[in-house]
Structure 1
Amino acid sequence: MNRPALTPATVVAEAAVLADEHGLEAVTLSAVARRLGVRTPSLYSHVRDHAALLDGISTLALEELAGRIAEAVAGRAGHPALDGLAQAHRSFARERPGRWQSLQRRVGPAVAASDAARTVAALMDAVLRGYDIPPGDRVTVTRLVGSTINGYLTLEHVGSFDHREPAPEVSWHRTVDALDTLLRTWPTGQET
């Protein structure tokens, strides 16, 4: 059997597959080495350490998520763009659970400064331009929208919404609608 050539990208890609299959906590250098059919020391010329491996998964996840968001919000503004953004996150979290989990951790500075992270932030800013959000409030609103989406997806993933009606799908759409209402009515000036 021919093994793929070891590169930082192939090591991270295999680690991401492992994370999606078994959870981020299953990603160790030795587990990835076994999957690649090599000894663990062979990986150190491609990834510095475990933290760098996890950061690699996070960067890959951001790149993939950015592509989904870009497609979902293209040509849209206001509620349709916000819905596209939210749905892109939700489908990514469901289809790539380990990669999603890698975005729910404190990442290293290189990930935070990566092109992928900047692209995701720029896409969020593009969605917010569809609302009358003062520039000084964009960071706060980004945090609010991100927290709402991430919180909902985390609780849905662990089954917190499985015990009562309405179905999580109904609440999801109501949540996005409520975010849209909040953003459309965001105060444009602060009282002193």
Structure 2
Amino acid sequence: MPRAGLDHDVVVAAAAEIADAEGLEAVTLARVAAALGVKPPSLYNHVAGRDGLLRGVALLGLGELAATLREAAIGRSGADGLQATAQAYRAYVLAHPGRYAAGAIAAPAPDDAEHQAAGAAVLEVMRGVLRRWSLDDEQTLHALRAIRSAIHGFASLEAAGGFGIKVDLDTSFQHLIAALAVGVGRAD
């Protein structure tokens, strides 16, 4: 019989907390079970092993990231929208590195419609921000890849302490996104 109060969402939330605090490699059935005060086999009532834990963390992270970006994008588009959503994206990556790594780095499996939809929700917000530039589909895809790569790279370096020069990181990030906005505006 499943433990009272323990369900899929509780198990995934515990895994997400561990991922954020200790990294994805720390997310194991044994570690999550210990955090929840249960034996590892009892988790199989709620998730399909470690892969199920990681998939759950990925879906949670993508859902949270999409909601964060939607909130930042409200009433904004173009360079202003790009700056607002990029700042929100960066803040999410820094606050939730494990959830982000689980969901936003690797592409979803081609047969996982739920995971694909969660990733598409993030991209749809960013597509909305880019509409102001009237890009065609291919240009939009190139812009999305550039933006995602830039934010991921900056936030990853920042989280790892990769910026040793004492210049304000927020200002550097604003410059990066402003340069991307200029580049998007010049897309052929």
TM-score under structure 2 normalisation? 0.90
The share of aligned pairs that are identical, in percent, is 36
User: How far, CA to CA, are the matches of 2:115 and 2:10 in structure 1?
Assistant: 21
Q: Is the 8 A contact 2:62 2:104 kept in 1?
A: no
1:144 is aligned to: 146
User: How far, CA to CA, are the matches of 2:85 and 2:124 in structure 1?
Assistant: 12
Cα separation, partners in 2 of 1:79 and 1:71, compared to 1, 3 Å: same
Instruction: Compute the displacement of 1:134 (Å).
Output: 1.8
Instruction: Compute the displacement of 1:107 (Å).
Output: 5.2
The farther-off stretch of 138-147 and 172-181 is: 138-147
Q: Is the 8 A contact 1:132 1:186 kept in 2?
A: no
5 Å matches for 1:42-191?
A: 42-103=42-103, 105-106=105-106, 108-109=108-109, 110=112, 112-114=115-117, 116-161=118-163, 163-187=164-188
Give 5+ residue unaligned stretches, structure 1. Answer: 188-192
Moved over 6 A (4+): none
The alignment yields a C-alpha RMSD, in angstroms, of: 1.7
Cα separation, partners in 2 of 1:127 and 1:7, compared to 1, 3 Å: same
* Paired positions, count: 183
- After superposition, give the CA deviation of every residue in 1:134-172 in whole Å (9 maximum; x if it has no partner): 2232212211111111111111111111x2243322211
Instruction: Compute the displacement of 1:73 (Å).
Output: 0.5
Instruction: Compute the displacement of 1:108 (Å).
Output: 4.3
User: How far, CA to CA, are the matches of 2:115 and 2:147 in structure 1?
Assistant: 18
TM-score under structure 1 normalisation? 0.88
What secondary structure sits across from 2:133 in the alignment?
coil
Give 5+ residue unaligned stretches, structure 2. Answer: none
